[in-house]
């Protein structure tokens, strides 16, 4: 007798769930970039005031990636399943195999891989050949971006 495990159910998507996703994602990323930058500026300014200028020596390069990591991880794994930029453009992130809410670690890994993929921009061309319009960082993180249900 062999151990046969049933495959995870695939997410049933609406026919229009992927229409216009790539264009909307580009605009959503721009909105989120501005919001993360504003958060970083506020945190940086507050830390400079609170540390009497010592933060100038420690936070100049490390703050933006840390804020972006938690911004994406917390907003996507939250109840809206999207960053503010994604919400503004009627998008949400779901697990690719089940369609369930994305856990924090998957959302944060997807964000890290997204920022790392900027080192080699042709990686973004994967979304042109993927049937679900997913980028390589989405595939590795096991997520899909769809129109809000």
User: Could you state, in order of their start, the residue ranges of all structural domains in the chain?
Assistant: 21-147
Sign, CA torsion 96/101/104/110: positive
Q: Give the model's confidence band at 12: pLDDT under 50 very low, under 70 low, under 90 confident, else very high.
A: low
- Tell me the C-alpha distance between 30 and 61, whole Å: 20
Q: Report residue 65 CA to chain centroid gap.
A: 13
- Please provide residue 119's backbone torsions phi and psi, each rounded to the nearest 5 degrees: -70, -20
Nearest to 93 by CA among 58, 137, 51, 55: 137
Per DSSP, the three-state class of 79 is coil
pTM to 2 decimal places: 0.83
pLDDT higher than 60, residue 112: yes
Q: So what's the pLDDT on residue 5?
A: 44
pLDDT higher than 70, residue 114: yes
CB atoms within 10 A of CB 57: 8
Whether 143 and 93 have beta carbons less than 8 Å apart is answered as: yes
pLDDT higher than 90, residue 13: no
């Amino acid at each position: 007798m062999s151990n046969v495990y049933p495959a995870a159910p695939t997410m049933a998507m609406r026919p229009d769930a992927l229409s216009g996703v790539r264009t909307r994602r580009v605009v959503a990323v721009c909105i989120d970039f501005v919001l993360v930058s504003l958060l970083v500026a506020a945190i940086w300014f507050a830390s400079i005031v609170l540390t009497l200028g010592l933060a100038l020596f420690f936070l100049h390069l490390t703050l933006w990636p840390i804020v972006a990591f938690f911004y994406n991880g917390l907003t996507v794994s939250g109840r809206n399943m999207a960053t503010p930029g994604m919400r503004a453009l009627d998008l949400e992130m779901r697990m690719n195999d089940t369609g369930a809410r994305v856990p924090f670690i998957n959302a944060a890994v997807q964000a890290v891989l997204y920022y790392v993929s900027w080192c080699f921009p042709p990686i973004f061309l994967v979304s042109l050949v993927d049937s679900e319009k997913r980028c390589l960082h989405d595939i590795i993180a096991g997520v899909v971006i769809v129109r809000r249900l």
